[in-house]
Amino acid sequence: MEKITRKYQHAVIATDTIIFTVVDDELKVLLIKMNKKPYADCWAAPGGLVKPDESVDASAKRNLFAATGVKDVYLEQLYTFGRVNRDPFGRVVSVAYVALIPSEGLKLKVSSAYDDIAWFPCHRLPALAYDHDHMIQYAVGRLRAKLAYTNIVYSLLPDEFTLTDMQNTYEIILGRPLDKRNFRKKILSLALVAKTGTMSAGKAHRPAALYRFRSRDYKMIQIM
Amino acid sequence: MEKITRKYQHAVIATDTIIFTVVDDELKVLLIKMNKKPYADCWAAPGGLVKPDESVDASAKRNLFAATGVKDVYLEQLYTFGRVNRDPFGRVVSVAYVALIPSEGLKLKVSSAYDDIAWFPCHRLPALAYDHDHMIQYAVGRLRAKLAYTNIVYSLLPDEFTLTDMQNTYEIILGRPLDKRNFRKKILSLALVAKTGTMSAGKAHRPAALYRFRSRDYKMIQIM
DNA sequence: CCAAAAGTGTTTGTGCTACACCCATGT
DNA sequence: ACATGGGTGTAGCACAAACACTTTTGG
């Protein structure tokens, strides 16, 4: 243990997590305001260094919890960014993760130990630190692709939702409109969701049937 | 630079590359014989530590070249393995890559600075060091998936090849037989390949038309 | 009664699947 | 002549895409 770590203390390993949610008809990312010199007034995806006795996955989970207060959400390794000069403070290799949070879980405890933390729509992003701009673009691409051939939508939707909610989530992320009849046909034929029996209420229009996922296990399924 | 690397010399970063080729009707991986204590008589995917002034990608390229003598082959980041105790010699986080080498490039300079190095069929693998068993299984899965929705076969085939060669490559990797007529129909309709005009020769049967890829750029295309 | 969103079927085309025989060459 | 692999077409079926109107509620 000693030998290797002492001889090669070249690089440091960090994790950064791109946290997505869908609210207000937009795909949003959670960012933290930086204060250090070259990146004052820049924002960054939450992250931090991997501790010596901590797995890389555990580090991502810890950072996710620190930023959002949530656990047990969808969290997947995205890519490892290892350019030599990606971090002006030193040689840091960053393992990026993607997390998906259901729209309703938003108002939990977003603020914690950070100066400023906020959700930004993926379109109009602020100035970003490091290579986080690139990371986020890459994450959006991955999210789009996975939406099509897995059932990850479940991790963006609340426990109960309408089929219109679900379709909106797809449309927002994919960036294109979907045919309502075809969408419902497809989703219902996959039998991933079941009616709860209750109805959405409170708005100035016809109530909609609420659905719930039969199972919230990650599956590879051709959806779109 | 100094501050961070000195304060957190916890972990070391390595790259390991799973190098695939298809020969003798089998998907094979290139492995290196280990000699250090807990892994004597074990084999491992070629890899090494990332140097301080070297990007992670560059490290993978360097290790690939050291093991095979080839450059400019398909090389893609696979996954980062970061369990705390994955390496008994110390805390090493490994960024795994996948490389694909065309079947003919095999007999180049496979032997170099290693004690022993050899190709193993993905089925009957020897005892493997670290978590390389897991890595290889993961890599095979990725390769299978990518074969279906990208044009990466090009990186496993020589410059000129017959459609039967190509179909064999698919069948070996996917592990299931494909219909000859449907396969040819599909491949030709995609217009990825063009006849060279020449014919294969020398074997005890009818010669086959040779094809060449119109372009060897990586593309996302639904193939299977 | 009006606005707003929920809900519902049919038709058409495209692409995947399954399937069997003749051809050209070397020995 | 025979063994070996090369090369070719069609029909059925399942799924994706396009498309418009009626219903229910709150205001």
pLDDT tens readout for residues B157-180: 999 999 999 999 999 999 999 999
Q: Which residue in the block uniquely carries the two structure tokens 């996975």?
A: A146
Residue nearest to nucleotide C10 (CA to C1'): A181
pTM value is 0.93
pLDDT band at B4, cuts 50/70/90?
A: very low
CA of A185: nearest nucleotide by C1' is: C8
Percentage of chain A beyond pLDDT 70 is: 91
Nearest to B52 among A3, A10, A80 (CB): A10
- Percent of chain B having pLDDT more than 70? 91
Quote the pLDDT of residue A8: 46
A207 touches strand D (CB under 7 A): yes
Identify the band that residue A10 occupies on the pLDDT scale cut at 50, 70 and 90: low
> Is the pLDDT reported for residue B44 higher than 70?
yes
Closest among A143, A152, A146 to A216, alpha carbons compared: A152
A213 has pLDDT over 50: yes
Under an 8 A CB cutoff, do B82 and A49 touch? no
* Predicted local confidence at residue A104, as pLDDT: 80
For residue B5, the model assigns a pLDDT of 43
Above 80 in pLDDT, residue A7? Answer: no
Nucleotide with the nearest C1' to B205 CA: C25
Nearest to B12 among A4, A79, A84 (CB): A4
- Who wins on pLDDT, B55 or B5? B55
Residue with tokens 């897991």: B134
| Structure tokens belonging to residue A55 | 């797995």
Torsion of CA B36, B40, B46, B48, to 10 degrees: -10
A11-29: pLDDT as tens digits: 899 999 999 999 999 999 9
What is the pLDDT at residue B110?
Answer: 58
Cα separation, A126 vs A115, whole angstroms: 16
Looking at per-residue confidence, does A148 or B6 come out higher?
Answer: A148
Terminal-residue alpha carbon distance, chain B: 48
The set of strand C positions with any atom below 7 Å of a protein CB reads 3-10, 16-20, 23-27
Pairing state between β B92-100 and B12-23: parallel
Average pLDDT over residues B114-126: 91
Mean pLDDT of A136-155: 97
AA letter at A139: A
How long, in residues, is chain A? 224
> Which is more confident, A201 or B136?
B136
Q: Give the pLDDT score at B3.
A: 44
- Which residues of chain A lie closer than 8 angstroms to B92, CB-CB? 4
